[in-house]
Amino acid sequence: MRLLGPALLGVLFGAALGAAATCGYQSCPVTKPDMLNVHLIPHTHDDVGWLKTVDQYFFGDSVIPQLLADPSKRFIYVEVTFFARWWGLQTESMRQAVRQLVDEGRLEFVNGGWCMNDEAAVHYSAVIDQMTLGLHFLQETFGECGRPRVAWHIDPFGHSREQASLFAQMGYDGFFLGRIDYQDKLQRETLREMEQLWRGSGSLSPPVADLFTGVLPNGYNPPMALCWDQICSDNPIVDDDSEENNVESIVAYFLGTATAQVRASVMGHAKNYRTNHIVMTMGSDFQYENALLWYKNLDKLIKHVNAKQVSGSHVNVLYSTPSCYLWELNKANISWTVKYDDFFPYADGPHQFWTGYFTSRPALKRYERLSNNFLQVCNQLEALTGTQANTGPYGNANSSVLRQAMGVAQHHDAVSGTAKQHVTNDYAKQLSAGWDACQDCHESLLSQVIPVSSFTRAVRHHRGDAINELVFQASAPPLGYRTYSISRLAGRDPARFKVLKMLRDQPGTEHLSWSIENQHLRVLFDPRTGLLKQIENLDKNISLPVSQNFFWYNASTGNAVNEQASGAYIFRPNTSEPFLIAKGANLNHVKTEVVQEVYQNFSDWCSQVVRLYAGQPYVELEWTVGPIPIRDGLGKEIISRFETNLQTDGIFYTDSNGREILERRRNYRTTWNLSQTEPVAGNYYPVNSRIYIKDQKVQLTVLTDRSQGGSSIFDGSLELMVHRRLLHDDARGVGEPLLEPGDYHNGLVVRGRHLILLDTAESSAEQHRLWAQQEYMAPQLVLAPGGGPPYHPDQDNLKEYTALNHALPSNVHLLTLAQREPNSILIRLEHQFERGESVNGSMPAVINLQNLFSSFNVISLQEMSLAANQKREEMKRLIWQSSEGASSGAAEEQPSPASLDPTQITLQPMEIRTFLAQIQHQARSRRGV
Ligand SMILES: *[C@@H]1O[C@H](CO)[C@@H](O)[C@H](O)[C@H]1NC(C)=O
Ligand SMILES: *[C@@H]1O[C@H](CO)[C@@H](O)[C@H](O)[C@H]1NC(C)=O
Ligand SMILES: *[C@@H]1O[C@H](CO)[C@@H](O)[C@H](O)[C@H]1NC(C)=O
Ligand SMILES: *[C@@H]1O[C@H](CO)[C@@H](O)[C@H](O)[C@H]1NC(C)=O
Ligand SMILES: *[C@@H]1O[C@H](CO)[C@@H](O)[C@H](O)[C@H]1NC(C)=O
Ligand SMILES: *[C@@H]1O[C@H](CO)[C@@H](O)[C@H](O)[C@H]1NC(C)=O
Ligand SMILES: [Zn+2]
C-alpha cells in the first residue's frame, strides 16, 4: 500500500529542510532513568537470495512515508544489496527524503555489509571484502551518517570469534546476536551474561579486537502475540469504543512480558539483563512491506503502555534502534565480563545441532573459495593496470560483477549450503557471471604426461576425452605471473612408466613397493587393506602410524525420542558409529620423477589419489565422493577419518574463518557445564582451512580446500565431513531435503583435496600457516591457445612478471590490492602469524610501501579502518569497562601515529592494516627472466 507519492515526499522534505542534521548517538531518543526503558526496534530481516528480489520486495516504499510523517519513528536497515538495488530505482526527491531521514538518525543502517554473512563457512578475506563493498556504498551515498555503529548478526547459526575481531577492527561499537546454544542462553540469562565484552583475538592487543556483544532476548522476533505485520496473524490493537477494544488486555500482557524480566527487588533493572534498558525486536523475515500496520499498532502500544505511568507503572516504551540501546548500556558505565571463546556449535535443542551446514553443498563451498581467489587476482590486475588500460597483456578485468556475486555468496543461506537447490544454482550462476567479467585476464621445467585416471574419466563422463594429463611444477612470483608454453613433442610416448595395479589381499603382490616418497616424506600403505598405514617425515625423523578411511553416518530421520531429522542445517546421525564404505581399497600406483601417486578405489562412488609431488612437504589426498547411493532409503553423511596413536586427551584444534586457531575439547564448552546429548554432532566444529591434533612432540594437520565440518570423536583421531546426501528436510526453513542432483541428476559427485602435514608440534605452525595460505591463494591457471614457435629446450620459454619491486617479508601477506577509484587503490597488509606461534614468524614485520609496487608510484597514503569506510585516526569506538580491569575498557585505542611513514609500516602478529593510496601509474614495463 502506498500512502504518499514521490511528489508529496518532495514537499515533506522541503518542509523539513533547515533543521540541523544529527545522526549517530546524538540523535537517540530521550529515555527515563528511573524506569525500565523498552527499546522497540522496527526492523526486517531480508535473506539475500533470489527468492525475494527487489522486484518483489520494497520495504522503502512503505516505510519511508511512515518515518517522514512522524519524527519519533525509527527503522533500521541491514542488507545493502537490497538497499542498493532499491535506491537505484528511486527518484531524486525520494532519495533526498531518505538522505534527510538518515541524517536525522530516523533511518539507521546497521551492519551494512552487502549481506549478513554466514560465520561458519566463510573465509575472513571474503568477509572483509563483502563488508567493504556494502559499507562503501553507504559511505558514498550518505557520508558519515550512513556509517553503521552496530553490527547485527541476528540470524547466522553460530558465531565465530574471528567475526567479532573483524567487526571490532571495522570500528563497530557493539554487536547483536540472535541465535546461541540453548544451554548457553539459559546459563547467561541466569547469570545475567547476555551482554559481555568479546575478545576476538588472542594476538591483537586489547581493546583492538574487543567488541561489546549482546544476545537478543527473542532471536530477532517480536514477543509472542505482538507481531503486527501483514504476514502475521496476531490481533491488532483496537482502542476505539467498539466491543473489540483489547487495549487493557494487550497492555497488561505487554507489561507482564516486560516486567517478567524485571526483578522485584531491583525495580527498574531487567532480570536477565543488567541495566534498566531492554530491547524488543519488532519485525522478522521480509516484513514492513506494509509498514502502516506495524507502526499503527506500535503507536497505540506506546501510547497506552506509557499512559500507565501516571498510575505508577515503571515501564517506558519507545521507538529506538540497536545503536541507541547500545548507547544507553554504554552510559550505564558498568563493568562487563569478557568472553574468549566462540559460539560454535549452535544447538536449539538436545538433538538439534546445526553442524550439518558446515559441510552442506560442498561443491558450492569450493566454488565460493575459488571465486574468492579469482576475485583477488581480478582486483590486482585492475589495480595494476588502471582504468585507462583495459586491454593489453593483462586483458580486460572488471571486478565489480564478481565482487557483488561474492558479496551475495557470503550470505548465511548461501555459502552455508542452506538455500533451496534452485536458489543455490542462482548463487553459482552469479559467481560464474563474475568470472566471465574477469575472465579476459591472462597469466599463464620438469614435466610429465601421465594417464588420466579412470576415476577422473568416470567423473567427467563425456565432458572431455583426454587420455593423458600433463603434470609439471609451476610457480608464480608474488603478485605476478609466469607463462609456461606447452607444445607436443613428436615421437615421444608419454606412458613410459608402469602403472602398477595392486589388488589388496592378492598373493604375489607382496614384493611390490607399498609406499611412495619424495625428499621429505614417505607414505606407507597396508598391503592387506590398501589403506594408508604410516607417514614419515624424513627431515625430522618422525614416523606416525596413520590409517585413513571413508565412512558414512546414517542420517537420522527422527525417532521417538525426538522427531528431528538430519538436513541441510542439522547433523543428526542415527548412531554415533559410522559405517565403513569399504574395508579397504584396490590400488593403482604411478611413480614418476614429478609425482608419485597411489589411486585407492574404495567403491564405485568413493575413491582417492594419495599423491606426493617432488619437493613438497605435504601429502595430498584427492578424494572423489559421489553420487552417494540412496537406493537403500538411507541418507548418508560421508567422512574421511584419520586414526593415529597420538595421546590427544580429547583436544583438537580448528581455525576460525581461516585465521586464528581455537582449541576444542570433546564434550566440553569453555563457558558452561555442557550436558552432551549428541556425542558426534555436538562435537563438530567448522573447519575453514585446517584442523589438527598433537601430542607433546608430533602434530598431524589436515588442510582443507573449502569449509567442512570436522571433529575428533576419539583420542588420536581426526575426521572431516566431505559430502552429505539426505532424504528429509530438517524443518529449519529450507523446506527441501539436501539432495543435490549433480550434472546427471543421479546425485552430485564432489572432488576435493586434503593436504596432510606431519611435523614436530613446535614447528608445525609455520608450515600449516604458509600452506593454508597457498591453498586459498593458489596461483590462477589460465589456459590460452599458443601460436608461438614449437618448444625448444634451449629457448627462453618462461616468461614472467611481478608487480613487486621487492618481496614482502615471509610473515606478511598482501591481503587486498584493489582499485577503488581511478588512481586510488585499497591496500591491505596482514601479518600471518599469531603471537607466540612461531619463533621467526611471530616477529613484527616492517614493510616499505613507498616503493613496493613496480607499476605505480604511491603519492599519498591514508590509513583506514579495516573496511576502509573511516580514517584510522578518526576511529573512536565507545569505551567499555571490563571485569578484566583496565586491559579492555579504559585502554587507549592505539591511534595511528600522526604522520604515517610509508617506508616503515610495522605489522604486529595477526594485525591487518588497511590503506587508501593515491597512486600514479607508471609506463608498463615487463621484466623477463
Ligand atoms: C565510570 O566508572 C568509573 C569507575 O567505575 C569512573 O572512574 C568513571 O569516571 C565513570 N565514567 C563516567 C563517564 O561516569
Ligand atoms: C563493470 O561491470 C559493471 C556491471 O556490468 C558495469 O556497471 C561497470 O560499468 C563496469 N566497469 C567498468 C570499469 O567497465
Ligand atoms: C630416528 O628415530 C629413531 C626412533 O625414533 C631412532 O632410533 C633413530 O636413531 C633416529 N635417527 C636419527 C638419524 O635421528
Ligand atoms: C539408519 O537410520 C534409519 C533412520 O534413522 C534407520 O531406520 C535404519 O535402521 C538405520 N540403518 C542402519 C543400517 O543403521
Ligand atoms: C536409529 O534407527 C533405529 C532403527 O530404526 C531407531 O530405533 C532409532 O530410534 C534411530 N535413532 C535415531 C537417533 O534416529
Ligand atoms: C572401483 O571399484 C568398483 C567396485 O568396487 C568398480 O565398479 C569400479 O569400476 C572401480 N573404479 C575404477 C575407476 O577402477
Ligand atoms: Zn536469515
| Same domain membership, residue 604 and residue 743 | yes
Of the candidates 155, 239, 342, 413, the residue annotated as catalytic is 155
The phi, psi pair for 288, rounded to 5°, reads 65, 25
CA of 395 to the centre of ligand 2 (A): 15
**74 touches 42 (CB < 8 A):** yes
User: What percentage of the chain reaches a pLDDT higher than 70?
Assistant: 81
3 state SS of 361: coil
Helix (H) or strand (E) holding 750: strand 750-760
CATH assignment at residue 733: 2.70.98.30
Please report the beta strands in 614-748, taking only residues with DSSP state E, as ranges in sequence order. 619-625, 636-644, 651-656, 660-665, 685-687, 690-694, 698-704, 708-711, 717-725
| Ligand 4, pocket-test mutation among 554, 571, 581, 726, most atoms within 8 A of CB | 554
Mean pLDDT of 129-136: 98
CA of 541 to the centre of ligand 3 (A): 6
Q: How far apart are CA 389 and CA 217, in angstroms?
A: 54
| Ligand 5, pocket-test mutation among 353, 556, 563, 678, most atoms within 8 A of CB | 556
Average pLDDT of the chain is 86
Residue with cell 552455508: 416
| Same domain membership, residue 658 and residue 743 | yes
The phi, psi pair for 849, rounded to 5°, reads -85, -20
| Same domain membership, residue 625 and residue 588 | yes
The residue count of the chain comes to 929
Range name among 3-12, 124-133, 477-486 with the lowest pLDDT average? 3-12
Residues paired with 864 in a beta bridge = 871, 914
| Residues flanking ligand 4, CB < 6 Å | 554, 556-557, 574, 634
pLDDT at 473: 53
Among 313, 339, 365, residue at a domain's last position: 339
Residue 360: name the closest of 499, 172, 566, 64 by CA: 566
Is residue 522 one of the residues assigned to a domain? yes
Among 776, 807, 825, residue at a domain's last position: 776
Say if pTM beats, i.e. exceeds, 0.75: yes
Measured from the Cα of 382, ligand 2's closest atom is 13
| Ligand 4, pocket-test mutation among 574, 632, 727, most atoms within 8 A of CB | 574
The total domain count for the chain is 3
Is residue 719 one of the residues assigned to a domain? yes
Top mean-pLDDT range of 12-16, 268-272, 390-394, 586-590: 586-590
| Same domain membership, residue 559 and residue 616 | yes
Q: What is the DSSP string of 16-47?
A: HTTSPP--GGGGPPP--TTSEEEEEEE--B--
Please give, one letter per residue, the 3-state secondary structure of 799-856: EEEECECCCCCCCEEEEEEEEEECCEEEEEEEECCCCCCCCCCCCCEEECCCCCECCE
Q: Does the pLDDT value for residue 898 go beyond 90?
A: no
CA of 576 to the centre of ligand 4 (A): 12
Range name among 83-87, 258-262, 848-852 with the lowest pLDDT average? 258-262
| Same domain membership, residue 849 and residue 741 | no
Measured from the Cα of 582, ligand 6's closest atom is 5
Mean pLDDT of 27-55: 86
Is residue 718 one of the residues assigned to a domain? yes
**194 touches 679 (CB < 8 A):** no
Is residue 483 one of the residues assigned to a domain? no
Is residue 634 one of the residues assigned to a domain? yes
Q: How far apart are CA 60 and CA 55, in angstroms?
A: 12
Provide the sign of the torsion angle of the four alpha carbons 307, 310, 312, 316, taken in this order: positive
Q: What is the pLDDT of residues 545-562, one digit of tens each?
A: 999 999 999 999 999 999
Distances (CA, A) of 113 to 119, 160, 215, 495, 728: 13, 17, 20, 53, 33
Mean pLDDT of 35-53: 85
3 state SS of 915: strand
Residue 405: name the closest of 385, 428, 384, 423 by CA: 428
| Same domain membership, residue 730 and residue 615 | yes
Q: What is the CB neighbour count within 10 angstroms for residue 105?
A: 21
Q: Is the CB of 405 under 6 A from ligand 2?
A: no
The more confident residue out of 439 and 911 is 911
Closest ligand to C-alpha of residue 452 is 6
Tell me how many degrees the CA angle 705-203-914 measures, rounded to the nearest 5.
Answer: 75
The phi, psi pair for 431, rounded to 5°, reads -60, -40
Q: Is the CB of 390 under 6 A from ligand 2?
A: no
pLDDT at 52: 57
CATH assignment at residue 292: 3.20.110.10
Q: Is 129 a catalytic residue?
A: no
Residue 409: name the closest of 185, 125, 205 by CA: 125
Is residue 62 one of the residues assigned to a domain? yes
Q: Is the CB of 503 under 6 A from ligand 6?
A: no
**737 touches 661 (CB < 8 A):** no
CA of 559 to the centre of ligand 6 (A): 35
State the virtual CA torsion across 811, 163, 144, 212 in degrees, nearest 10. Answer: -120
- φ/ψ region of 429 (left if φ > 0, alpha if ψ in -120 to 50, else beta) reads alpha
Q: Does the pLDDT value for residue 6 go beyond 60?
A: no
Q: Does the pLDDT value for residue 795 go beyond 60?
A: no
* Sequence-ordered list of residues with C-beta below 8 angstroms from that of 214, at least 6 positions apart, any chain: 174, 175, 176, 177, 194, 195, 279, 326, 329
CA of 536 to the centre of ligand 3 (A): 12
pLDDT at 72: 96
User: What percentage of the chain reaches a pLDDT higher than 90?
Assistant: 70
The one-letter code for the residue type at 804 is L
pLDDT at 921: 83
Mean pLDDT of 653-659: 97
Range name among 44-58, 183-197, 238-252 with the lowest pLDDT average? 44-58
| Same domain membership, residue 627 and residue 660 | yes
pLDDT confidence tier of residue 790, bands split at 50, 70 and 90: very low
**587 touches 501 (CB < 8 A):** yes
Q: Does the pLDDT value for residue 11 go beyond 90?
A: no
Q: Does the pLDDT value for residue 18 go beyond 50?
A: no
CA of 828 to the centre of ligand 7 (A): 30
Closest ligand to C-alpha of residue 152 is 7
Is residue 446 one of the residues assigned to a domain? no
Mean pLDDT of 74-99: 95
pLDDT confidence tier of residue 885, bands split at 50, 70 and 90: low
Mean pLDDT of 578-603: 90
Is residue 789 one of the residues assigned to a domain? no
Measured from the Cα of 555, ligand 4's closest atom is 2
Range name among 684-688, 775-779, 784-788, 870-874 with the lowest pLDDT average? 784-788
Q: Is the CB of 400 under 6 A from ligand 2?
A: yes
Q: Does the pLDDT value for residue 504 go beyond 60?
A: no
Q: Does the pLDDT value for residue 484 go beyond 80?
A: no
Closest ligand to C-alpha of residue 412 is 7
**565 touches 353 (CB < 8 A):** no
Among 744, 776, 808, residue at a domain's last position: 776
Q: Does the pLDDT value for residue 843 go beyond 70?
A: yes
pLDDT confidence tier of residue 15, bands split at 50, 70 and 90: very low
User: Judging by DSSP bridges, how do beta strands 532-537 and 542-554 pair with one another?
Assistant: antiparallel
Q: How far apart are CA 809 and CA 691, in angstroms?
A: 26
Q: Does the pLDDT value for residue 681 go beyond 70?
A: yes
Structural domain for 651, as ranges = 497-776
| Same domain membership, residue 160 and residue 54 | yes
What is the DSSP secondary structure assignment for residue 610, as one 8-state letter?
E
Residues paired with 109 in a beta bridge = 77
CA of 31 to the centre of ligand 1 (A): 20
pLDDT confidence tier of residue 899, bands split at 50, 70 and 90: confident
Closest ligand to C-alpha of residue 878 is 1
User: Judging by DSSP bridges, how do beta strands 685-687 and 708-711 pair with one another?
Assistant: antiparallel
Q: How far apart are CA 61 and CA 477, in angstroms?
A: 52
| Same domain membership, residue 262 and residue 226 | yes
How buried is 840 (Cβ within 10 angstroms: 0-12 exposed, 13-18 middle, 19+ buried)?
exposed
Q: Does the pLDDT value for residue 299 go beyond 90?
A: yes
| Same domain membership, residue 693 and residue 574 | yes
Q: How far apart are CA 673 and CA 676, in angstroms?
A: 9
Q: How far apart are CA 566 and CA 569, in angstroms?
A: 8
Q: Does the pLDDT value for residue 80 go beyond 90?
A: yes
The more confident residue out of 786 and 139 is 139
Q: Does the pLDDT value for residue 60 go beyond 90?
A: no
| Same domain membership, residue 562 and residue 690 | yes
Q: What is the pLDDT of residues 520-546, one digit of tens each?
A: 999 999 988 999 999 999 999 999 999
Q: Is the CB of 602 under 6 A from ligand 6?
A: no
| Residues flanking ligand 5, CB < 6 Å | 556, 559, 574
Helix (H) or strand (E) holding 609: strand 606-613
CA of 818 to the centre of ligand 2 (A): 15
pLDDT confidence tier of residue 506, bands split at 50, 70 and 90: low
Mean pLDDT of 713-717: 98
Mean pLDDT of 656-669: 97
Q: Is the CB of 810 under 6 A from ligand 6?
A: no
Quickly list H helices, 274-420: 291-307, 322-331, 362-385, 400-409
Q: Does the pLDDT value for residue 305 go beyond 60?
A: yes
Measured from the Cα of 559, ligand 4's closest atom is 5
Q: Whose CA is nearest to atom 11 of ligand 6?
A: 604
CATH assignment at residue 908: 2.60.40.1360
Q: How far apart are CA 731 and CA 408, in angstroms?
A: 24
Q: How far apart are CA 89 and CA 80, in angstroms?
A: 14
Q: What is the pLDDT of residues 372-397, one digit of tens each?
A: 999 998 998 888 877 544 444 445 67
Measured from the Cα of 387, ligand 2's closest atom is 13
Q: Whose CA is nearest to atom 14 of ligand 2?
A: 398
Q: How far apart are CA 511 and CA 506, in angstroms?
A: 11
Please give, one letter per residue, the 3-state secondary structure of 663-674: EEECCCCCCCCC
The one-letter code for the residue type at 281 is T
| Same domain membership, residue 568 and residue 511 | yes
pLDDT at 851: 86
End-to-end CA distance of the chain: 67
